[in-house]
Amino acid sequence: MRRKVGAVLAFVGGFLVVLAILAQAYAPGALEKTPIDVNTTTELEGTAQLPDASGVLKELPVKAYSITHTDSAKSDDDVAVFVNFACLVKDEGGISSCVSADDPQDRLINASADNFAADRVTAIAVNDPKYLPADAVPHEGLVNKWPFHSKKTTYPYWDSVLGTTVDAVYDRTETIDGVRCYVYIATVTDQPAEVSNGIQGTYTDQKEFFIEPLTGGIVDQREHQQRFTGTGDVLLDLSLAFTKDQVATFADDIGGQADQLDLLTTTVPVVGYVVGIPMLLAGLALLFLGRNRKDEPPAPKRQPVAAGTK
């Protein structure tokens, strides 16, 4: 019986230890990578001040849509290739997506398309012609997510208006819809830039990124952007943030991914070692003791002695 119990304990303990080793050694490399089957539409809402035909600023509600998908054919084990289309529209007529430039209600404010590639672990932009079309704008720094295991530090973030990176500085930790996030702030102040097609002026911007640190996913984003003409007139004064529904969706998706990743890379190894090693040692001890008892010679039988004999 002792040998049977020892065999069971040794088997289960050994299995848990092997599982812990595999989870610790191989799971991060396999799981901590940006997926290459991304197809998302991100919705933001807010307000914008825009000059009308007479130059008078008018404030109106706006929405922004960012449609991103990976080019799975060009992506590989190390690099994810992305195609992005973004638009800013007037929030009129029950709008729920981007509109064309010839929209009858003239709701399109601006639109842009972008091709970029990023390292699947560090999220840093990759500029390699084998991944991107010849006319793709070279990118630097972080573009659409943070690295896995993000730190409380400063990261270079790509600013498409300036065509270079700006510092995204860790500011605080905050919980959004139950997900613990690191908050980073990227600030631009009165920088010369092309503020509209063919128009030079100055550009001011502040973005807040709410990052789930284990996955590097963006749970929420808030922005206040201003563009001025060369004479100092306001061309655009924009305040945007993810919609509440969008934040809830990202918090659920990214929070779930973080929980699964933490389970496989942290909880499973800890349980495997803490429970598995004692079980393995106990099982081996029982097997060893059981074998020794089996190998011991049987005790000699006592012979009956007749009464009155010595």
pLDDT at 55: 81
Mean pLDDT of 123-143: 96
Q: Is 174 exposed, middle or buried (0-12, 13-18, 19+ CB in 10 A)?
A: middle
Domain boundaries, the chain: 2-23+264-295, 24-263
Q: Give the length of the chain.
A: 310
pLDDT at 237: 97
Find out whether 74 and 131 touch, Cβ atoms under 8 Å.
yes
Mean pLDDT of 95-112: 93
Query: Per-residue pLDDT tens for 37-62?
Result: 999 999 999 999 999 888 889 999 99
pLDDT at 274: 65
Kindly tell me if the per-residue pLDDT of 129 is higher than 90. yes
Query: Per-residue pLDDT tens for 144-199?
Result: 999 999 999 999 999 999 999 999 999 999 999 999 999 999 999 999 999 988 89
In sequence order, what are the beta bridge partners of 290?
Answer: none
Q: Report how far apart, in Å, the C-alpha atoms of 63 and of each of 49, 108, 236 are.
A: 13, 10, 14
In this predicted model, which residue has the larger pLDDT, 1 or 181? 181
Kindly tell me if the per-residue pLDDT of 81 is higher than 60. yes
65: helix, strand or coil = strand
Of the listed ranges 15-24, 47-56, 206-215, the one predicted with least confidence: 15-24
Q: How confident is the model at residue 113 (pLDDT cuts 50, 70, 90)?
A: very high
Range among 7-21, 240-254, 257-271, 276-290 rated most confident: 240-254
In sequence order, what are the beta bridge partners of 217?
Answer: 212
